[in-house]
Amino acid sequence: MTPGFRLEQFTLRRPQLVLLVKAVIDGQEDEVLIFRGFSSSLMHPTAADPDVPVLPEAAEIEAIDIMVGPYNPTAPQYLQRGLSWDDMLPLLEDMGV
């Protein structure tokens, strides 16, 4: 399972949460919002086909913020900020994703 798919599955099981993922994809910085199983880039076009991963296998995840959903860019409600992939792994494993 790719990291992006695992994060999407996490938000399907926790629909009240939103993940903001800061990553480097093909040498370009990106911010990806993941909510209720769907990913969308905040900095680059997102493919209309949901089967095209926004966070590919080779993406370098720099930080993950967990927020209360739905996402409000003017007043985000952070629960945890700046988690590394290694910090996120136990949360994913606890949920079986």
Per-residue confidence of the chain (97 residues) as pLDDT tens digits? 889 999 999 999 999 999 999 999 999 999 999 999 999 999 998 888 877 789 989 999 999 999 999 889 899 999 999 999 999 999 999 999 9
Domains in the chain, number: 1
User: Is residue 54 assigned to a domain?
Assistant: yes
C-alpha–C-alpha distance, residues 54 and 32, integer Å: 7
CA distance from start to end of the chain: 9
User: Is residue 13 assigned to a domain?
Assistant: yes
User: Is residue 96 assigned to a domain?
Assistant: no
User: Is residue 60 assigned to a domain?
Assistant: yes
Which domain range does residue 37 map to? 3-91
pTM for the predicted model, two decimal places: 0.93
User: Is residue 97 assigned to a domain?
Assistant: no
